[in-house]
């Protein structure tokens, strides 16, 4: 784990424990802000002296000293004191969605509850409804949140699993006996959450020593099983990892088998049986021979079964095998197809880096354009104003010529409960790009939420609906709405739906993506980056899009800037141009009508 992440976790923990103990809210917010800044800072904090640490946004002298103490001793004395003052299980209560520090402090002080089991017992005994601010509905909602949290805790977020797997693979690949190594299972299929992590290594000589080395890695907390071809360990993060060692000659068969999914494997084994063959993790065999007909690569096995190679992200038995047999697999969108990122925040609102830093980082990734889309004023905590927005527009106009990248000035608007947006249409028409997102009132009825979303979609200046289902994986369920009605409206008005690549969101999810494609919707795959390292999350958005069978032509930020300009100009005066050429300071009163989708669209499946 990066030193920045370790430090951020410590600062977050300090904020939580101060809040639970009823401490100064200002100190809580200060540590929370510092944790976000440190975690998202682009430089390794271990390379910084005290002055360098204080240059990090929201890190003052006191926090810098705590970070130096952590680096020097591995501990923060103040954090140790907080741990000594409070029961160990109390902080775990903050993992419950909607159960914040104020309520954790309340149930601890008034009912003596300091752990999740105690909280669940109090719920069963209906004791919480006696507290100020509680009632029968509050108890019911809390019980539902706990159930959702417990279900989610059984699986690991994709990004967390991938980081652990990559670390372990890097160590395995250094072993001289290992010719190749990779992850398999739901991680290779890039599901949004993962159960156990499955690793595969090819080694023809001394596989026992490979297993011994694996079980002795520094990340290992406990060895669950140790055998000659399979071992299982529990990492210090509490994640189970299984390693299988296979002969190099059977690599393709083993990778195919252990990647899954189970239903995909069953289907292709049935194809093998109908062809008079047998498929296993050791290869594709004819009945009369022990020598495999194909085993070394997945491509060989698929080809021998009359199929095109099927990308792992599609292997869920949802029509991919039939498409592979007919030569009609989708040409899936890849990272290399992207021309830009259209959802980026800066330190003007809740981001951690300046506009200059975010633009430079986007340019380093080879993007041809990017959009700065800070929050709008209905999200009151961000303190955005018209003057700040106009000042940022002038700043971007001055910055853009210094980078080999087109810079769009945008805003992430808030869709209010009635579907209205921040700012009037005249002011909105001055932006290059507008994203509209739901950030509040998540518990509206399905009909109200549907109306709310469609009202925003039909606004002639809105280009993208951001993280449309609003889910936060493991913490907040998706909102309820009529997906088909919303997707039909998006297709009709030429409004893109976002596939938000932030690992906590991955929203839209794959199932909704597939439904949206059926309506002819186009998408924007964006990172929603709030710091420079967040731009690397794009890989997760791409994987999610692939699992929904999305092709490059369906993604607006794969398009050339000229085509993107035409798409974004719906409802705007024809003179509006993407910066840096024609950057604007003022506002416009003209308001056009949506011109529909630009460019050709492939027919949905």
Residues 375 and 507 reside in one and the same domain: yes
Q: How confident is the model at residue 2 (pLDDT cuts 50, 70, 90)?
A: low
Q: Is residue 581 in some structural domain?
A: no
Residues 285 and 358 reside in one and the same domain: no
Residues 62 and 169 reside in one and the same domain: no
Measured CA to CA, the distance from residue 397 to residue 407 in angstroms comes to 8
For residues 177 and 210, the answer to whether their CB atoms sit within 8 Å is yes
DSSP assignment of 535-546 equals: GGGHHHHHHHHH
pLDDT at residue 490, as a whole number = 97
Q: What are phi and psi of 188, to 5 degrees?
A: -70, -30
Residue 249 burial by Cβ neighbours in a 10 Å radius (0-12, 13-18, 19+): middle
Residues 129 and 162 reside in one and the same domain: no
Average pLDDT over all residues of the chain: 87
For residues 11 and 63, the answer to whether their CB atoms sit within 8 Å is yes
Q: Is residue 78 in some structural domain?
A: yes
Alpha carbon separation from 63 to 53, 353, 361, 570 (Å, rounded): 9, 19, 27, 47
Q: Going by DSSP bridges, is the β-strand pair 180-183/283-285 parallel, antiparallel, or unpaired?
A: unpaired
Give the residue ranges of DSSP H helices in 177-277: 185-188, 207-215, 251-259, 262-274
Domain-terminating residue out of 152, 185, 201: 152
> Any idea what the CATH number is for the domain that residue 117 is in?
1.10.150.110
pLDDT digits (tens, 9 = 90+) for 545-561: 999 999 999 999 999 99
Could you give the number of structural domains in the chain? 4
DSSP state of 472: B
pLDDT at residue 511, as a whole number = 94
> Any idea what the CATH number is for the domain that residue 260 is in?
3.30.210.10
Q: What is the mean pLDDT of residues 157-165?
A: 89
pLDDT digits (tens, 9 = 90+) for 334-389: 999 999 999 999 989 888 889 999 999 999 999 999 999 999 988 766 688 999 99
Q: Is the pLDDT of residue 314 over 90?
A: yes
Q: How confident is the model at residue 114 (pLDDT cuts 50, 70, 90)?
A: confident
Q: What is the mean pLDDT of residues 387-393?
A: 95
Give the residue ranges of DSSP H helices in 380-432: 386-399, 425-428
pLDDT at residue 572, as a whole number = 66
pLDDT at residue 214, as a whole number = 93
Q: Long-range CB contacts (< 8 A, 24+ apart) of 62-68?
A: 63/11, 63/30, 63/31, 63/34, 66/10, 66/11, 66/14, 67/7, 67/38
pLDDT at residue 561, as a whole number = 94
Residues 368 and 434 reside in one and the same domain: yes
Considering only 143-152, 217-226, 311-320, 366-375, which range has the smallest mean pLDDT?
143-152
Residues 140 and 180 reside in one and the same domain: no
Q: Which domain holds residue 240?
A: 156-246
The model's pTM is: 0.79
Q: What is the mean pLDDT of residues 427-439?
A: 95
% residues pLDDT > 90 (the chain): 56
Q: What are phi and psi of 39, to 5 degrees?
A: -65, -35
Residues 284 and 398 reside in one and the same domain: no
pLDDT at residue 99, as a whole number = 77
Measured CA to CA, the distance from residue 130 to residue 139 in angstroms comes to 10
Residues 355 and 272 reside in one and the same domain: no
Q: Which residues contact 12 (CB under 8 A, 6 or more apart)?
A: 31, 32, 35
Residues 9 and 104 reside in one and the same domain: yes
pLDDT at residue 5, as a whole number = 82
Q: Is the pLDDT of residue 499 over 80?
A: yes
Q: How confident is the model at residue 573 (pLDDT cuts 50, 70, 90)?
A: low
DSSP assignment of 479-546 equals: PP--HHHHHHHHHHHT-EEEEE--TTT-BS-HHHHHHHHHTT--EEEE--BSSGGGGGGHHHHHHHHH
Measured CA to CA, the distance from residue 92 to residue 94 in angstroms comes to 5
Q: How confident is the model at residue 596 (pLDDT cuts 50, 70, 90)?
A: very low
Q: Is the pLDDT of residue 451 over 90?
A: yes
Q: Is residue 44 in some structural domain?
A: yes
pLDDT at residue 149, as a whole number = 67
Q: Which tokens belong to 580?
A: 């840096």
pLDDT at residue 591, as a whole number = 29
Residues 106 and 169 reside in one and the same domain: no
> Any idea what the CATH number is for the domain that residue 185 is in?
3.30.460.10
Q: Is the pLDDT of residue 578 over 60?
A: no
Residues 462 and 342 reside in one and the same domain: yes
Strand ranges (E), 366-469: 369-375, 406-414, 433-437, 464-466
Considering only 278-287, 499-508, 573-582, which range has the smallest mean pLDDT?
573-582
Q: Is residue 590 in some structural domain?
A: no
Alpha carbon separation from 521 to 338, 493, 499, 514 (Å, rounded): 18, 10, 12, 10
Helix, coil or strand: residue 232: strand
pLDDT at residue 21, as a whole number = 78
Q: What is the mean pLDDT of residues 103-127?
A: 80
Considering only 146-160, 191-205, 215-229, which range has the smallest mean pLDDT?
146-160
Measured CA to CA, the distance from residue 433 to residue 103 in angstroms comes to 40
% residues pLDDT > 70 (the chain): 90
For residues 340 and 527, the answer to whether their CB atoms sit within 8 Å is no
Q: What are phi and psi of 235, to 5 degrees?
A: -80, 170
Q: Is the pLDDT of residue 278 over 60?
A: yes
Alpha carbon separation from 292 to 2, 204, 283, 288, 309 (Å, rounded): 44, 17, 5, 10, 18
């Amino acid at each position: 784990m990066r030193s920045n992440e370790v430090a951020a976790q410590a600062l977050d923990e300090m904020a939580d424990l101060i809040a639970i103990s009823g401490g100064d809210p200002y100190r809580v917010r200060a540590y929370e802000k510092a944790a976000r800044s440190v975690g998202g800072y682009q430089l390794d904090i271990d390379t910084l002296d005290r002055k360098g640490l204080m240059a990090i946004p929201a890190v003052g002298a006191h926090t810098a000293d705590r970070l130096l103490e952590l680096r020097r001793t591995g501990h923060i004395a103040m954090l140790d004191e907080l741990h000594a003052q409070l029961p160990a299980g109390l902080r775990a209560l903050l993992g419950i969605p909607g159960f914040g520090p104020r309520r954790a402090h309340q149930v601890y002080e008034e009912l003596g509850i300091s752990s999740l089991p105690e909280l669940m017992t109090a719920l069963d005994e209906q004791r919480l409804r006696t507290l100020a601010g509680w009632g029968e509905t509050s108890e019911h909602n809390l019980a539902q949140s706990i159930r959702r949290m417990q279900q989610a805790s059984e699986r690991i977020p994709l990004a967390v699993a991938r980081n652990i797997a990559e670390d372990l693979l890097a160590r395995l690949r250094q072993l001289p006996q290992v010719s190749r190594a990779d992850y398999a299972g739901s991680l290779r299929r890039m599901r949004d959450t993962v159960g156990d992590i499955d690793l595969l290594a090819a080694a023809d000589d001394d596989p026992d020593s490979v297993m011994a080395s694996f079980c002795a890695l520094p990340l290992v907390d406990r060895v669950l099983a140790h055998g000659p071809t399979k071992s299982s360990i529990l990492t210090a993060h509490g994640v189970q990892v299984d390693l299988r060692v296979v002969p190099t000659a059977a690599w393709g068969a083993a990778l195919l088998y252990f990647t899954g999914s189970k239903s995909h494997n069953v289907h292709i084994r049935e194809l093998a049986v109908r062809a008079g063959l047998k498929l296993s993790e050791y290869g594709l065999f004819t009945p009369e021979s022990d020598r495999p007909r194909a085993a070394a690569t997945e491509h060989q096995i698929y080809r021998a079964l009359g199929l095109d190679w099927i990308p792992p992200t599609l292997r869920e038995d949802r029509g991919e095998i039939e498409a592979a047999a007919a030569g009609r697999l989708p040409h899936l969108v890849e990272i290399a197809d992207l021309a830009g990122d259209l959802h980026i925040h800066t330190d003007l609102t809740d981001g951690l880096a300046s506009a200059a830093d975010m633009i430079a980082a986007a340019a380093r990734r080879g993007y041809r354009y990017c959009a700065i889309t800070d929050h709008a004023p209905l999200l009151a905590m961000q303190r955005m104003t018209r003057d700040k927005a106009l000042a940022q527009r002038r700043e971007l106009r001055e910055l853009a010529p210094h980078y080999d990248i087109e810079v769009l000035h945008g805003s992430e608007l808030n869709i209010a409960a009635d579907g209205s947006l921040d700012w009037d249409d005249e002011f909105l028409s001055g932006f290059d790009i507008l994203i509209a997102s739901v950030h509040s009132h998540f518990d509206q009825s399905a009909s109200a939420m549907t109306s709310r979303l469609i009202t925003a979609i039909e606004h002639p200046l809105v280009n993208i609906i951001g993280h449309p289902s609003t889910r936060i994986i493991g913490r907040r369920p998706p909102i309820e709405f009529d997906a088909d009605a919303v997707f039909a409206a998006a297709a009709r008005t030429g409004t893109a739906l976002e596939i938000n690549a932030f690992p906590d969101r991955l929203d839209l999810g794959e199932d909704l993506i597939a439904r949206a494609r059926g309506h002819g919707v186009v998408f924007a795959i964006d990172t929603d980056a709030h710091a420079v390292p967040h731009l690397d999350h794009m890989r997760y958005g791409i994987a999610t899009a692939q699992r929904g069978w999305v092709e490059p032509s369906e993604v607006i930020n794969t398009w050339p800037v000229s085509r993107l300009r035409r798409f974004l100009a719906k409802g705007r005066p024809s003179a509006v141009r993407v910066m840096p050429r024609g950057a604007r300071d003022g506002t416009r009163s003209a308001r056009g009508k949506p011109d529909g989708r630009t460019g050709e669209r492939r027919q949905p499946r």
